[in-house]
Amino acid sequence: MRTIFIVSCAAALALLGFGHSHVNAEPEPQKTWPVIEVSKGTLEILRSVRTSDVCDALDSMGLQQRYQMDYTMRPLYSGIHFAGIAQTAEYEVINRPLKAMSYEEFDKRQYAEGSEGLWHEAGPWGGRDQVLVIDAKRTPAGILGSANTLGGRIKGVVGFVIDGTCRDSYECIIQKTPVFCTVRSPAHPMGRIGPVSNNQPITCAGVKVRPGDVIVADDDGVMVVPQEIADEVARRAKRIQDKDRPGRRGSYEKLGLPLDETVR
């Protein structure tokens, strides 16, 4: 691993353009912190193991009950499995319902830049090998949807984890978009929540997540692997899985089951 530095500015958009008059907030100072870059080899191992292996590895290191997200964090569909580097975003509840307007005005303003816009993202939508992790305060306001998740995947995002809502869920499912969320809702976030920060430490589904930590997710849930110990967690998780597979393969053979990727 090597240490790099990330500089990020907390978004000063939470008070902007949600159909009401406002005073622009002052930007928060830029914050800088060291991030330990996780090696490609470690990331590949964590992509090959189960969340149960990761959980057992953390248990063996005396780290029980710290890095498993709340059980309400569930995949949109079965079979999602990813591991990637966390990019974080945080939103807060603002509860500023939109005033009535013509459809033409609404269409013009919904995603407009600046104070006229009705909705602003906290920051950019990640990059290669990243997982977008969002603290949306478990609200029924759909930050994730079928269009913007496709945009993130084009940039190389491997997964999405939100303590909040994914809407357009059927479209996300048929697009095979790897989303974990705690809420289902048709609601748009404009007027309901606003951005607080981009790529700063957050708490998502009860677990602290920092930019640079590794997120591992499958049907059992979502695990956060702190970047400082990712190498050791990966090493132990692989040993746990390597010990498990031969025994399960033997049971498959006794039962006459066809071998699958979990036992080969």
Residue 120 lies in a domain: yes
How far CA 94 is from CA of 76, 89, 98, in Å, comes to 27, 16, 12
pLDDT tens digits in sequence order for the chain, 264 residues long: 555 544 443 333 333 332 333 333 444 554 666 788 999 999 999 999 999 999 999 999 999 989 999 999 999 999 999 999 999 999 999 999 999 999 999 999 999 999 999 999 998 888 999 999 999 999 999 999 999 999 999 999 999 999 999 999 999 999 999 999 999 999 999 999 999 999 999 999 999 999 999 999 999 999 999 999 999 999 999 999 999 888 888 898 899 999 988 888
Give the residue numbers spanning the domain of 231.
2-244
Residue 60 lies in a domain: yes
Residue 264 lies in a domain: no
The tokens of 146 are what?
Answer: 């079928």
pLDDT of residue 261: 84
Residue 228 lies in a domain: yes
Residue 254 lies in a domain: no
Residue 257 lies in a domain: no
Supply the CATH number for residue 114's domain: 3.50.30.40
Residue 252 lies in a domain: no
Q: For the chain, what is the domain count?
A: 1
For 47-108, give the secondary structure using H, E and C: HHCCHHHHHHHHHHCCCCCCCECCCCCEECCCCCCEEEEEEEEEEEECCCCCCCCCHHHHHH
Residue 83 lies in a domain: yes
How far, in Å, CA of 154 to CA of 139, rounded?
26
